[in-house]
C-alpha cells in the first residue's frame, strides 16, 4: 500500500519540527550536564539583565574582536528563544561600542535576526512557526500584515512594547516581498535605536522615553485604524 501525497507532504512538514526539537533537547541537556555551558549562559543572562553599564561593557569587551559577532548571534538566538528583549540587546550594543558604532551594530544585528526569521517563516512554514508563537498569534499577525503591509512591520519595529520577533516569521509565511519587509524593519527600528542612543546614559530616562514613545505610537496607530475602518 503506497502513501498518499497528503501523507508524504505531512511527513515532510514534520521534518523541521523534529530537527528543531532535537536541537532544543540538546541545548537543554547541554545546559544541565555541561558545567561550562551552564556557567556561560548564566553569566550572559545576569549581565544582559543587570542594567549595569560597567558590567555590560566589561562582558562584551572580554570577547575582543568577537564582541560584535556575539551581539549579532545573540540577537538571532533571542528571535527563537525570546529570552532577552530586542531593546535590551540594542542597549548593550550602544553601551559597549558608543552611540555611533553601537547604533550601527544594533541595526546590523536587528536586520540580520529579522532576515533569519523571515527565511525561517518562508521556507519552514506555518507548522513550525505555530509551534513557536502559537496559532492564534500567527493568524492575528497574518491578518495584520495583509491589511497594512509595510506599516504593520514599521509599527511593530518602532514600538518597544510590541514583540519584534513574531512579525519576522509571519512576514516570511505570507511571502511579503523581502525588500519591502527589510525596508520597513530598518525604517521602524532606526528611530528606536536613535532614541536609545540619545538616552542610553540614563536608564531611568530611557525607560520613561521608550514607554511614552510606545504609548503615543500605539495611540496614533489606533486612531489610524479607527479612521481607516470608518472611512
pLDDT per residue as tens digits for the range 27-63: 666 656 777 666 766 666 676 666 666 777 777 777 7
Number of domains in the chain: 1
Within-domain flag for 41: no
Enter the C-alpha cell of residue 118.
Answer: 523571515
Within-domain flag for 214: yes
Within-domain flag for 40: no
Q: What is the mean pLDDT of residues 147-172?
A: 79
Within-domain flag for 126: yes
Within-domain flag for 39: no
CB 173 within 8 Å of CB 122:
yes
Domain span including residue 157: 54-230
CA distances from 43 to 38, 51, 55, 71 (A): 8, 14, 11, 15
Residue closest to 89 by CA, chosen among 107, 101, 62, 66:
107
511527513: which residue's cell? 11
Q: Is the pTM of this model over 0.85?
A: no
Within-domain flag for 100: yes
Within-domain flag for 18: no
* pLDDT tens by residue, 190-217: 988 888 888 766 666 666 766 777 777 7
Amino acid at each position: 500500500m503506497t502513501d498518499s501525497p497528503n501523507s508524504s507532504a505531512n511527513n515532510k512538514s514534520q521534518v523541521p519540527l523534529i530537527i528543531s526539537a532535537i536541537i532544543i533537547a540538546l541545548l537543554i541537556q547541554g545546559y544541565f550536564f555541561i558545567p561550562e555551558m551552564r556557567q556561560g549562559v548564566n553569566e550572559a543572562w545576569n549581565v544582559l539583565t543587570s542594567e549595569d553599564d560597567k558590567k555590560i561593557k566589561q562582558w562584551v569587551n572580554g570577547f575582543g574582536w568577537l564582541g560584535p559577532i556575539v551581539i549579532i548571534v545573540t540577537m538571532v538566538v533571542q528571535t527563537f528563544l525570546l529570552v532577552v528583549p530586542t531593546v535590551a540587546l540594542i542597549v548593550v550594543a550602544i553601551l559597549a561600542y558608543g552611540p555611533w558604532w553601537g547604533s550601527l551594530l544594533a541595526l546590523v544585528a536587528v536586520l540580520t535576526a529579522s532576515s533569519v526569521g523571515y527565511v525561517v517563516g518562508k521556507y519552514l512554514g506555518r507548522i513550525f512557526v505555530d509551534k513557536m508563537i502559537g496559532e492564534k498569534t500567527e493568524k492575528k499577525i497574518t491578518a495584520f500584515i495583509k491589511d497594512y503591509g509595510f506599516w504593520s512591520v514599521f509599527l511593530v519595529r518602532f514600538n518597544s512594547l510590541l514583540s519584534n520577533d513574531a512579525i519576522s516569521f509571519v512576514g516570511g509565511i505570507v511571502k511579503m516581498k523581502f525588500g519591502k519587509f527589510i525596508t520597513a524593519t530598518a525604517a521602524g527600528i532606526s528611530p528606536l535605536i536613535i532614541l536609545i542612543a540619545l538616552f542610553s546614559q540614563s536608564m531611568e530616562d530611557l525607560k520613561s522615553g521608550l514607554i511614552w514613545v510606545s504609548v503615543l505610537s500605539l495611540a496614533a496607530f489606533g486612531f489610524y485604524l479607527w479612521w481607516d475602518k470608518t472611512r
